[in-house]
Amino acid sequence: MVKLVTVLGNRPQFIKAAIVGRRWREHWPDGELTEFLVHTGQHYDPMLSDVFFEQLGIAPPDVNLHLGSGPILDQIGLMLPLLRRVLEEQKPDGVLVYGDTNSTVAAALAAAHLHIPLFHVEAGERNYRRRLAPEEINRVVTDELAWLALTSTEKATEYLLREGYAPERVVRVGDPMYDLFCWASPLVESNATVTPTALGLQPGSYALATIHRQENTASNERLIAVLDALDAVEMPVVLPVHPRVRNMLKDLGWAAKGSLRLIDPVGYFDVLGLLRGCAVCVTDSGGLSREAFFSGRPCVVPLPNSGWNEIVEAGWLMVEPEAGAPLTRAVETFRPTAPLPQGLFGDGMAAVHLGKAILKALAERDDEGAWHPLGAFRQIPQPIDRSNLSYAELRRELEALRAAGRRFVTLAELEGEADVALRHDVEWSLEDAVALAELEAEMGVRATFFIRADGIAFNPWSSAAKLQIMRLAELGHAVGVLAQGSGLEVHGLLLQQTIGRPPAPAIASAPTVAIDAVGRSSGPVVAILDPSLWGGAPISPFEKGQRILSGVSDRLRRLPAFTDWMGRS
C-alpha cells in the first residue's frame, strides 16, 4: 500500500483532488493508493473550500491548518513548521501537490528537506514573468524539487525538457480538471443552485467573469480599471467576488453602476452551469479559462499573457492586457471561428495516469532522484584522477582498432564495414583539439572535428582561434561547425572562409559507439570523443567531462539523427 499526503489550499486544487481521489478509489478499490488530505486554509471562505468538499464528494480533510490569507512569505513561513509536523507524524511514501499556490511551494520545501518524494500535478506551466506573477516563482521552485513533474499538456512537457529536466522526471498525464469536467457535466442540472434563471439572465445574453490574480489586484488603479471595463459591457456581466477582492472594494468604496453584477462565490456545479449559459467568459484564472474551453465558450483573459497558449492558438482564448475600452470591446466582440479542438488536455483519465506514474516511480525509487539532465546520480559521469592521463592510452586503442582491420575515415567518407569515423566535438579547448589532431595525423588517422560556434569556452572567430582551426585542416582532418538554428549556416560560411573549403557535413545513417566498443561492432561506426578528455586541464563532469557516448545505452538510442543533432547542439 502506498500512502500519499496531499496538500490543498485553494479552489482549483480542491476540484482536482476531487476527481483524483474518486478515480483512485475506482481504479484501486483495495487501497493500493491512498491519500491523507491536508487543507492549509489558504482560502478560508466557506464558499471557496467547504462547499467543494461537500458538492464534489471529497472526504473532509484529515487536517485543516486554518491559516487564512496573508502576505505570501508570511503564509509560507507559517505553513512550513505545521506541514513539517504533519509529514513527520504521517511518514508518507510521497507528497502530492497541485498547481502553483503558496500551499504548493510550502509543501514542496517541507517534503524536500524531509527527503520525501514529491509529485507535482500541472507541472511545467510557464509564463516567464515573476515580478507581478508570484505563482511563477512557486511553480518553478516546485518543479525543481519534484521527483515527478506530471504535466497536463505537451507544451508543458517541452518546457521542462528544454530547461534541462531529466526525461524520466517528466510525465505527461493530462489535466485532472478535464477529468472532473467529463465526470461532472451530466450532473450540472441536478446540482447547480445558482443558475442563470435564478439570476434573471437569459442563456447566451451575459458574460461570466472572475478577477483575483495579483496582476489585476496589486494596485487599486488596475483593479478599478478592469472592473470599470466590465461594468461598461453592453450585456450583463456576472462576477462571483473573491473574498480578498471583496475586502478591497469595501475599503475603496467602489460599486458597480452599469452591467456588472457582483455575487458571492459559487460552487463548482454553479460555475459549470453559468459557463454553459454565458456568451463569453472573462477571467484571470487558469482553471476557469480551461473550464470555459472544455464548455465550448470563448474566453478573454485580462492579462499580458495566458498560461494556456494552446487555447490561444486554437482560437478560443483572447489575451487583452489593456483595461478600459479595449477590454470592453474584447468581451463584446471576441467569438471563435475555428472548431473546438480535442485532446489538448488529455483523454479524461489523467488521475489514473498520474497514479500509475507515482506507483512506478516509487517502485523504482532511487534515493538520490534524477536531478541531473542525464538522469539519476548513478548515470552522471563521475570525476576521475586525470593527473597521469596521457595520449598513450588513446594511441593504444587506435592501434588496436587498426590491428583489428579497421580503416579510419572522415564522416563524409564513411561507408565500408571496416570504417571508423572519429568525430570530435570541440566545445572546451581548441588547444586540446589541435594536440589530438597532431597525434592522429602522426598515426595516419583522419578524423572530423566539429567546432562549437556559440559556446562559452572560446571564440572560434578570434585571430588565435582561426589559426588553430586552420591547423586542424592542414593536418588533413575534416572540420565542421556546431551551432543552433539559422546560426548554423552563418557559422558554416565563416568556417569555410577560415579553412578555404566547405565544412564537413554531419551524417545520419551510422551507429555511434564509444571507442572501447568500436572493435566489437559490425558495419560503419562513428565514435564521438571529447578532445578535452585527452588534454591537460580537468573539466567538471556536470558541464561536459567524459561525454563519450556509449552505443550500448538506451539514452543514445534515443538521440536524434546526426544532421538534426548537429543543428541543435
Amino acid sitting at position 258: G
Give the integer Cα–Cα distance in Å for 21 and 13: 12
Q: Which three cell numbers stand for residue 209?
A: 467573469
Give the integer Cα–Cα distance in Å for 316 and 341: 9
Q: What's the gap between Cα 287 and its chain centre?
A: 18
Strands (E), 137-254: 148-151, 170-172, 207-210, 237-240
Give the integer Cα–Cα distance in Å for 21 and 58: 7
Give the integer Cα–Cα distance in Å for 359 and 2: 8
Q: Which three cell numbers stand for residue 226?
A: 478592469
Give the integer Cα–Cα distance in Å for 523 and 137: 51
Give the integer Cα–Cα distance in Å for 15 and 41: 15
Pairing state between β 170-172 and 94-98? unpaired
Give the H or E element holding residue 319.
Answer: strand 317-319
CB atoms within 10 A of CB 409: 21
Q: For the purposes of burial, counting CB atoms within 10 Å of the CB of 368, is it exposed (0-12), middle (13-18) or buried (19 or more)?
A: exposed
* CA atoms within 13 Å, Cβ hemisphere of 492: 16
Catalytic (active-site) positions? 212
